[in-house]
Amino acid sequence: MRLLTRKLPWLIGTLLAVSFFTFMLVSLLPGDPAVMILGAGGVSPEAVAQLRLELGLDRPLVIRYFDWLGSALSGDLGRSPMTGQAVTDAILSRLPVTIQLGTMAIVIALTLAIPLAMVSAYFAGSRLDRGISGLGFALMSVPGFMMAIFLILVFAVGLGWFPATGWVPLSESPAGNLQSAILPAMSLAMIELALYMRLLRTDLIDTLQQDYITLARAKGLPNWLILTRHALRPSSFSLMTVVGLQLGGVISGAIIVEEIFALPGVGRLLYQSILQRDLLMVQGIVLFIATAYVVVNFLVDLCYSLLDPRVRYAE
Amino acid sequence: MIDAGSHGEVLLRVNGLTVRLHSGNGLVHAVEDVSFSLARGQTLGVVGESGSGKSVMARSLMGLLPKRALAGGSGEILFQTAGGAQRDLASLPEKQLRLLRGPALAMVFQDPMTALNPVLRLSVQLTEPLRLHLGLDRQQARSRAIELLASVGIPDAAGRIDQFPHQLSGGMRQRVVIAIALACSPSLLIADEPTTALDVTVQKQILDLLARLQRELHMAMILITHDLGVVASRADHIAVMYAGRVVEYAPANTLFTSMKHPYTEALFNSIPRINDPSHTRLQAIPGRPPQLIDPAPGCAFAPRCQYAQPRCREQTPPVVTVADAPDHQHACFFPVSTIPGGRPHGR
Amino acid sequence: MRSKVADSSVVRSRAQGFSAAARQVFGRGFGPGFWIAAGWLLLVALCAVFADWLPVRDPIDPVIANRLNGPLTTNILGADGLGRDILARLVHGARVSVVIALTAVSIGMVIGGTLGILAGYFRGHFERGLMAVLDVILAFPWLVLLLALVAFIGQSLAAISVAIGFLWIPAYARVARANTLSVVQREYVLAARAMGASTLRILLREVLPNVILPVLAYGLVAMGLVIIVESALAFLGLSVEAPQPTWGGMISEGKRHLATAVHVALVPSITMFFTVLSLNYVGDRLRSRFDVRESNL
């Protein structure tokens, strides 16, 4: 608990700075929102000025910031002047898609990465290890969209097993949902897989050289037990941290993947809002995403301190 | 062949053990033609500097060297198992060797700070061998583990069993390491520099503990150290190692009163004496331990030996037995002679 | 008598001279894979530099007659949806990739590296302030930040390079700071301080040579990442504008023709993949050379 109170001010401070930065950056974007809404070219300056007044765009920046922040804290991120939709509603309705996508990607990546890394580390230096590491290298060199295109080519266009675009919500049909989610999730998962595998392998190799592993061998324990219980556990903590930090990358990848597969997620909404200069929407989404990222990493950090005995019981 | 003498059941007989290891720069001759034997209840002290091969030898006895690093070796490690059969540990397949680790062979490591897994509770680390080798169930293993902790002198064992290694002091951690090693009542315990990383006051406690447990379990013990003082009163026989070879081997008393090998003498003289007048120069052994990669012919100690002759640099001295002392061997062409009752010749 | 022991340890633990570092790189052999990758990178670099003088067709000239022709027919590597020569577009696209990669990584290294070294050396408020700012910047997923920056600065070659470079500042600042922290605690820096060397001198002669190697070694891998980032931008239509060819843009255009003319997307994909793979591979091997701990294994 003491840990929590010590780190809480950092959390609040960072979140405040994030909200401020978000607001400023978006507000400073070129392109007058009023003009954007009314459509450029052939609009009277009076109409523009009128709309600006209505939107409250004439007030000083700082006041607008606090106004916005105040409503945001009560859950109201405003209403998009372009689509008329409440920002919060727009985000929440699309959130499940993105969350499912991200979670599936991370789970797939971890499920594959952990055994591969263990095999790699155990046979470090062998041809098997070099093969697996080579595979990891190759995966790291493929950006998300390229992987998506490749997967579409093979599994959608070629084999026809999965759809190339579109999303079936879970409530409608679990099977259909899975079908529409697999290719996007795999696209995201591959890069994460490469990263997790590499990191875990290095950490495991390091751990396997420790004295306590030799002692475990001296106890006559079988190798698989040593790998899973004695070696994996110490190494899993750094992996946990990286998964948290990588969320930013997963979200970025999700934006692209959702766009390619035409999934109704938060990422796609963000991208299109930026294109349309729907600044209020952009503000709201960015604030949401950044806040979520900071909070999640904070929680990961906390968990780490609680779970890793080395940190928890440090004298 | 160096013999333990007549002490009854010989538990371990090592013949010509040679270990070569791969390294980035070439083939390391880590252990060269080491032979000795050990009976139950006896303690063999192995003394040498860092790099003398004592740790490699210890680990090769238990087959703990990484397979990838091994680059050919030879020799036999004949061990008397509980069933009465004699097995050569050097040629035993890993699966069978693993069965012996714990119930027959055990090891205590040098650094208690790193020897215990920091993220596993003591209860897990202690009950593992008990459940694996002795087939105890959870409850039985746990209570036995608590008994073990108490027997190595850890206060409030029941309270401590669920703690993590970080919550214990260095001395206590070493006791836990000992408890783990002795969990399955092995017949041979190898203690690789068990006290080097500990405070002097704690050192004595740990050594006393080891001695007591050895008596209670009637174990054979190999006590490895770089400190002559440690083995002086606690070993029955002492083997002095240099550059991977045993250069002198004798019962403890004999070694200190009539040492033969110049290296042993130099080691002995390098210990500062409390009675020496102040400002007495410390006698370090000049030079450095030799490179074990592609060793030069001749005696490995010759470059640092004050008695070295040309012959020492050409031929490797074989192990010879001292006349009238069948259990005292050394490997020197020009052994040091001792003035009885005083320091060896030359000081 | 000044302690000889201190002197020798100062000398022994001093930074490696650059010639010694160079010897480490080229002394012992790297595998054939390394040299193949390095060769490919050289090829890409040459294309980037000499694009205008190479005997390839006009990259932006649409020849409708050749539309979507496969490789080894009318064009060596085929033509895209508008009949433009893919090989030519690849070669010119290499220029964009190389320029952006070099510029962005340089910006990140110089600015981020300097900030990191200063933070690691002077500690105190500056360090805490810098770390706080970095935390805030890193709270935003990179694409989100990039999209905003690009909307802000525009889509010229320079703008994109700077925008991506900005993304790299936090990463380099962290690497530089971490290395500086460890270097600063070593004896030779303390010794230099004790001898009264000025701060600037210490920074330049003791800290910089030791920090620069890991930073540089990371550079190649970073360039690979920059190419990936830029191509993602191009894919979204937000990189350097048409008709200037970019690898990412080519892949984006190719998506339309996946069912009928796979090569339009596949050829630039393979090219980009090999380039990034080579950067990753070469960068990683160099890095493990310079990291003393790893090469002792």
Q: A123-145 in b/e burial notation, b at 16+ Cβ within 10 A? A: ebeeeebeebbeebbbbbbbbbb
Question: Is residue A200 over pLDDT 90?
Answer: yes
Provide the pLDDT confidence category of residue B347 given band limits of 50, 70 and 90: very low
Provide the pLDDT confidence category of residue C3 given band limits of 50, 70 and 90: very low
Question: Is residue B142 over pLDDT 90?
Answer: yes
pLDDT of residue A25: 75
A211: nearest CB among B109, B128, B167 = B109
A292: nearest CA partner in chain C: C139
| Residues B195 and B213 both lie in one domain | yes
Looking at per-residue pLDDT, the higher value among A168 and B19 belongs to B19
Cβ–Cβ gap A29/C265 under 8 Å = no
Average pLDDT over residues A156-174: 81
**Percentage of the residues of chain C whose pLDDT score is greater than 90:** 7
pTM, 2 dp: 0.82
Question: Is residue A213 over pLDDT 90?
Answer: yes
pLDDT of residue C20: 55
Cβ–Cβ gap B101/A219 under 8 Å = yes
| Residues B98 and B109 both lie in one domain | no
Provide the pLDDT confidence category of residue A33 given band limits of 50, 70 and 90: low
pLDDT of residue A34: 65
pLDDT of residue A189: 93
* Chains touching A (3+ CB pairs < 8 Å): B, C
Of A52-66, A274-288, B160-174, B243-257, the range with the lowest mean pLDDT is A52-66
B177 touches B108 (CB < 8 A): yes
* Chains touching B (3+ CB pairs < 8 Å): A
Q: Which of residues 225-284 of A touch B (CB under 8 A)?
A: 229-230, 233-234, 237
Name the range with the highest mean pLDDT among A58-72, B1-15, B221-235, C173-187: B221-235
Chain A partners within 8 Å of C141 (Cβ): 247-249, 251-252, 255, 289-290, 293
A221: nearest CB among B64, B114, B132 = B132
Looking at per-residue pLDDT, the higher value among C18 and B215 belongs to B215
Question: Is residue A19 over pLDDT 80?
Answer: yes
Looking at per-residue pLDDT, the higher value among B143 and C197 belongs to B143
The label of the residue with tokens 């805490």 reads C128
Give ∠ CA B322-B327-B328 in degrees, rounded to 5. Answer: 40
The label of the residue with tokens 């059941």 reads B9
| Residues B213 and B335 both lie in one domain | yes
| Residues B28 and B163 both lie in one domain | no
By residue range, what is the domain housing residue B257?
1-103+191-201+208-272+283-299+319-340
- Dihedral of CA B47/B51/B55/B56: which sign? negative
| Residues B260 and B214 both lie in one domain | yes
Cβ–Cβ gap A256/C232 under 8 Å = yes
Average pLDDT over residues B16-41: 88
| Residues B244 and B148 both lie in one domain | no
| Residues B222 and B329 both lie in one domain | yes
Question: Is residue C2 over pLDDT 50?
Answer: no
Is the minimum CB–CB distance between B166 and chain A shorter than 8 Å? yes
pLDDT of residue A109: 95
pLDDT of residue B6: 44
Chain A partners within 8 Å of C143 (Cβ): 251-253, 255-256
Is the minimum CB–CB distance between A215 and chain C shorter than 8 Å? no
Whether residue B345 is contained in a domain is answered as: no
Whether residue B309 is contained in a domain is answered as: no
Cβ–Cβ gap B64/A211 under 8 Å = no
pLDDT digits (tens, 9 = 90+) for B197-218: 888 888 889 999 999 999 999 9
DSSP letter for each residue of A210-272 = SHHHHHHHHTT--HHHIIIIIIHHHHHHHHHHHHHHHHHHHHHHHHHHHHHHT--SHHHHHHH
| Residues B216 and B165 both lie in one domain | no
Cα A54 to chain centroid, rounded? 36
pLDDT of residue A76: 77
Question: Is residue A26 over pLDDT 80?
Answer: no
pLDDT digits (tens, 9 = 90+) for A52-99: 776 667 677 778 788 778 887 887 777 776 777 788 888 889 999 999
Provide the pLDDT confidence category of residue B115 given band limits of 50, 70 and 90: very high
B128 touches A219 (CB < 8 A): yes
Cβ–Cβ gap C142/A248 under 8 Å = yes
Nearest to C97 by CA among C248, C241, C221: C248
What CATH number does residue B332 fall under? 3.40.50.300
Looking at per-residue pLDDT, the higher value among A219 and C294 belongs to A219
Question: Is residue B188 over pLDDT 90?
Answer: yes
Looking at per-residue pLDDT, the higher value among A76 and C8 belongs to A76
Chain B partners within 8 Å of A207 (Cβ): none
Is the minimum CB–CB distance between B213 and chain A shorter than 8 Å? no
pLDDT of residue A3: 66
pLDDT of residue B346: 40
Of A47-51, A242-246, B66-70, B90-94, the range with the lowest mean pLDDT is A47-51
| Residues B82 and B131 both lie in one domain | no
Average pLDDT over residues A259-264: 90
Which of A11, A129, A141, A255 is the mutation pick for testing C, counting most C CBs within 10 A?
A: A141
Cβ–Cβ gap A215/B116 under 8 Å = yes
Question: Is residue B304 over pLDDT 90?
Answer: no
Q: What is the ipTM of this complex?
A: 0.85
Of A201-205, B104-108, C206-210, the range with the lowest mean pLDDT is C206-210
pLDDT digits (tens, 9 = 90+) for C254-279: 888 877 888 888 888 999 999 999 99
| Residues B13 and B160 both lie in one domain | no
What is the Cα Rg of chain C in Å? 23
Whether residue B147 is contained in a domain is answered as: yes
Q: B130-140 in b/e burial notation, b at 16+ Cβ within 10 A? A: bbbbeebeeee
Whether residue B166 is contained in a domain is answered as: yes
Exposed (0-12), middle (13-18) or buried (19+): which is C95, by Cβ within 10 Å?
Answer: buried
Distance CA C66, CA C96 (A): 25
A138 touches C277 (CB < 8 A): yes
Question: Is residue C4 over pLDDT 60?
Answer: no
pLDDT of residue C14: 42
Whether residue B75 is contained in a domain is answered as: yes
Of B24-38, C52-66, C152-166, C270-284, the range with the lowest mean pLDDT is C52-66
Number of structural domains found in chain B = 2
Whether residue B311 is contained in a domain is answered as: no
Q: Which of residues 111-130 of A touch B (CB under 8 A)?
A: 125
A314: nearest CA partner in chain B: B166
Whether residue B308 is contained in a domain is answered as: no
C68 touches C79 (CB < 8 A): yes
Whether residue B171 is contained in a domain is answered as: yes
| Residues B89 and B230 both lie in one domain | yes
pLDDT of residue C24: 53
B63: nearest CA partner in chain A: A218
| Residues B120 and B145 both lie in one domain | yes
